């Protein structure tokens, strides 16, 4: 079988066009060595385009291209058609439709998808950070965190950490328990990035009782008793007073509302 050659031409790195091309070629039983895919990235001017056309003529290649700048896309299209070279414009047709539907001109900036990728990886990094440093597991996370949440048990520290991680914040949370001294690093970090989660006794009692029942335990365990909760809340006040950090009452708030309040506090603190 005669080898089929495909040139990927892009004004960025060409990953998008290559992925689409490979997705298409994977639908055929043709042996892999019968397909030759060459990627030509960073096509920025007419000289680069002329090189693509010359190579395509020389190798009798199909040209698959992703050029976002309309003048470059039009020039390449004209040159390919002049030379009867088989070609596929991956982005042009859809961008034309989107421009009509959105009533908006495209940015025409090559490589924007990689900016999105970078944002995605930042989110993944933040999520992994929240998992790694959940529940005060490793005090070495304190200086690395963007936000440190502190509070007694059942103040939504973990779900808040995960929610904020999806907003690209690296969050560590530290539980406050009278019998366990907080890590020393908690008193050494900038108090501006520490948020204390406060809750009233009545709400905390109800939440803990419900949690015990959910676990199949008796709801009159010490964990949910008023005197134990009073002790923990007093300990919370003592630690917060020592740190000098902002305090946020989460008694009657949803996770999303609390998270937005935390972001506002952190943003104002960083100004």
User: How is the chain split into domains, by residue range?
Assistant: 4-110, 115-270
**Average pLDDT of 14-37?**
82
Provide the mean pLDDT of the chain: 91
Q: Is 158 annotated as a binding residue?
A: yes
Residue keyed to tokens 């031409």:
9
Residue keyed to tokens 């328990």:
177
> Distance (Å, rounded) from C-alpha 54 to C-alpha 52?
6
CA-to-CA separations, 1 to 30, 42, 69, in angstroms, rounded: 9, 32, 37
Topology (CATH) of 115-270: Rossmann fold (3.40.50)
Check whether 1 has a pLDDT greater than 60.
no
Check whether 263 has a pLDDT greater than 80.
yes
**Average pLDDT of 154-159?**
96
* pTM reported for the whole predicted model: 0.62
- CB contact at 8 A, 220 and 126: no
- Determine which of 8-22, 75-89, 230-244 has the lowest per-residue pLDDT on average: 8-22
Same fold, 4-110 and 115-270: yes
pLDDT single digits (tens) 191-228? 999 999 999 999 999 999 999 999 999 988 999 999 99
Q: Between 249 and 123, whose confidence is greater?
A: 249
pLDDT band of residue 115 (cuts 50, 70, 90) is low
**Average pLDDT of 127-131?**
93
Over the chain, what HEC string results?
Answer: CCCEEEEEEECCCCHHHHHHHHHHHCCCCCCHHHEEEEEECCCCCHHHHHHHHHHHHHHCCEEEEECCCHHHHHHHHHHHHHCCCCEEECCHHHHHHHHHHHCCCCCCCCCHHHHHHHHHHHHHHHHHHHHHCHHHCCHHHHHHCCEEEEECCCCCHHHHHHHHHCCCCCEEEEECECCECCCHHHHCCCHHHEEEEECCHHHHHHHHHHHHHHCCCCCCCHHHCHHHHHHHHHHHHHHHHHHCCCEEECCCCCHHHHHHHHHHHHHHHHC
Q: Is 155 annotated as a binding residue?
A: yes
Q: Is 30 annotated as a binding residue?
A: no
Residue 117 pLDDT: 63
Topology (CATH) of 4-110: Rossmann fold (3.40.50)
pLDDT single digits (tens) 55-74? 999 999 999 999 989 999 99
Q: Is 154 annotated as a binding residue?
A: yes
Q: Is 26 annotated as a binding residue?
A: no
Q: Is 13 annotated as a binding residue?
A: no
CA-to-CA separations, 210 to 8, 125, 176, 221, 223, in angstroms, rounded: 59, 33, 20, 12, 11
Q: Is 156 annotated as a binding residue?
A: yes
Counting residues of the chain whose pLDDT is more than 90, the rounded percentage is 71
Residue 113 pLDDT: 59
pLDDT band of residue 121 (cuts 50, 70, 90) is confident
Residue 111 pLDDT: 63
């Amino acid at each position: 079988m005669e080898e089929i050659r495909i040139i990927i031409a892009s004004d960025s790195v060409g990953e998008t066009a290559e992925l689409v091309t490979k997705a298409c070629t994977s639908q055929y039983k043709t042996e892999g060595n019968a397909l030759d895919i060459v990627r030509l990235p960073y096509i920025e001017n007419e000289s680069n385009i002329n090189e693509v056309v010359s190579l395509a003529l020389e190798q009798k290649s199909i040209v698959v291209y992703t050029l976002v700048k309309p003048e470059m896309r039009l020039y390449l299209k004209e040159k390919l058609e002049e030379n009867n070279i088989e070609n596929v414009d991956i982005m042009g047709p859809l961008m034309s439709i989107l421009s009509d539907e959105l009533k908006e001109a495209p940015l025409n900036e090559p490589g924007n998808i990689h900016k999105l990728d970078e944002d995605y990886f930042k989110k993944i990094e933040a999520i992994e950070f929240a998992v790694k440093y959940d529940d005060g597991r490793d005090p070495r996370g304190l200086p690395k965190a963007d936000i440190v949440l502190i509070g007694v048990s059942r103040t939504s520290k973990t779900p808040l950490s995960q929610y904020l991680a999806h907003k690209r914040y690296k969050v560590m949370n530290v539980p406050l328990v009278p019998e366990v001294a907080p890590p020393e690093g908690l008193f050494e970090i900038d108090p501006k990035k520490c948020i204390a989660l406060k809750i009233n006794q009545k709400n905390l009692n109800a939440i803990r009782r419900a949690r015990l029942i959910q676990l199949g335990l008796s709801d009159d365990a010490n964990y949910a008793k008023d005197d134990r909760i009073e002790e923990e809340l007093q300990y919370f006040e003592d630690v917060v007073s020592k740190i000098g950090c902002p305090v946020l009452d989460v008694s009657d708030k949803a996770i999303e509302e609390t998270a937005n309040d935390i972001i506002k506090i952190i943003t104002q603190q960083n100004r």
